[in-house]
Amino acid sequence: MTKCCILACSPFNFHITTHHPSVIRNLHNIYGERVIDINHFEGFIDYNVSVTHSGGLRRLLKDQARFTCDKLEPFKPLNRSQAFAMLEWGLNWVVAAHEVSHLVVHSAVLAKNGKAILFPAPPGSGKSTLTAYLSRNGWRLLSDEMALITPLTLEVTPFVRPICLKNDSIELVKSWYPKATFSTIAKDTHKGDVVHMAPDEDSVKLQNETAQIAGIVFPKFSKNKFCDIFSMDKATAYTLLTENAFNFSVLQGKGVQSIINIVEQVPAFEVHYNDLEELDSFLSEDILE
């Protein structure tokens, strides 16, 4: 049976169509009141996306989930048990591939007292575990996956969505926050086992409140190290931010100047850590103060 709904996730509204009941259940569980009946929505729809069955005989032999946006299919079909995870990755792709009103950087973003820190990091760095911890310890979640930066400024627009936890971090974060809300598990994806953790209520309430970038931290979890902090020169920070910017080339000169403005005005660090409290203290006392 086909189900449709609107996901009102500021600053975008998504019209979602799906054949998979698990997608609807997880949407309501993770996004709550931001999932709206299409008959009760009168706003502008930014993107039309779908997560549907396989077609033809394949559905009978091995039903899969297929993600499309305006008839484009950016991913190969996945097992239907991975349908909700596929939707989350699809929403990331949609914004990264189409957004031009913001500079989009692959980065977690957390804020305190209106000041934000960007956390660009490759897979395996512990970024999402760090994001989950900070968002439950006095920091406001703006995004786990992408920073939406107003070009030529330090202003970051929130895009408050769930935190994507993988493999060992799933049970670790669940043990920290047993009352938090989690999606069903997507097993054996290309990232391993994946669960999405709902953002905290305070971050959702402030989803329309921007923040100013105060620092850039490239985190790396290192089991055998405490907190080694290295100040990063502006040229290196520029290069790494450029590599993590999805639409840098599309924005052309404005993209170049936007990143130059950021690295010239805020400090950048590479941090190796295994103690989250110690890292939190560095972020709060040395960057934000």
Summarize pLDDT for 100-125 with one digit per residue, the tens: 999 999 999 999 999 999 999 887 78
203 confidence band (pLDDT: 50, 70, 90): very high
Whole-number pLDDT of residue 58: 53
127 plus 267 within the same structural domain: yes
Residues 21 and 63 in one domain: yes
116 and 34 in one domain? no
Average pLDDT, the chain: 93
Instruction: Please state the rounded mean pLDDT for residues 51-79.
Output: 80
CA torsion, points 275, 277, 281, 283, in degrees to nearest 10?
A: 70
| Three-class secondary structure of residue 232 per DSSP | coil
The count of structural domains within the chain is 2
How many Cβ atoms are within 10 Å of 156's Cβ, its own excluded?
A: 25
| Same domain flag for 116 and 256 | yes
pLDDT at 60 over 90: no
Whether residues 155 and 67 fall in one domain: no
CATH number at residue 206: 3.90.228.20
Check residue 245 and report its DSSP letter: B
pLDDT, average across residues 59-75 = 82
More confident residue, 43 or 118: 118
Confidence of residue 248 (pLDDT cuts 50, 70, 90): confident
Decide which of 48, 73, 98 is a domain's last residue: 98
63: pLDDT strictly greater than 80: no
Residue 53 shares a structural domain with residue 36:
yes
**Is 143 within a domain?**
yes
pLDDT for position 55: 61
Q: What is the pTM of this model?
A: 0.94
For residue 123, what pLDDT is reported? 77
Residue labelled with tokens 């939707």: 87
Shared-domain flag, residues 46 and 85: yes
Q: Are residues 67 and 23 in the same domain?
A: yes
Q: Does 57 have pLDDT greater than 80?
A: no
Residue 193 belongs to some domain of the structure: no
Q: Over range 80-96, report the average pLDDT.
A: 96
Cβ atoms of 83 and 50 within 8 Å: the answer is no
- Per-residue confidence band for 233, with pLDDT thresholds at 50, 70 and 90: very high
Q: Which residues pair with 119 in a beta bridge?
A: 108
| Dist. CA 80–CA 37, nearest whole Å | 24
pLDDT class for 59, splitting at 50, 70, 90?
low
Provide the token pair at 107: 């980065």
Average pLDDT over residues 24-32: 98
Range of the domain at 80: 3-98
Co-location of 69 and 149 in the same domain: no
Residues 179-203, mean pLDDT to the nearest whole number: 96
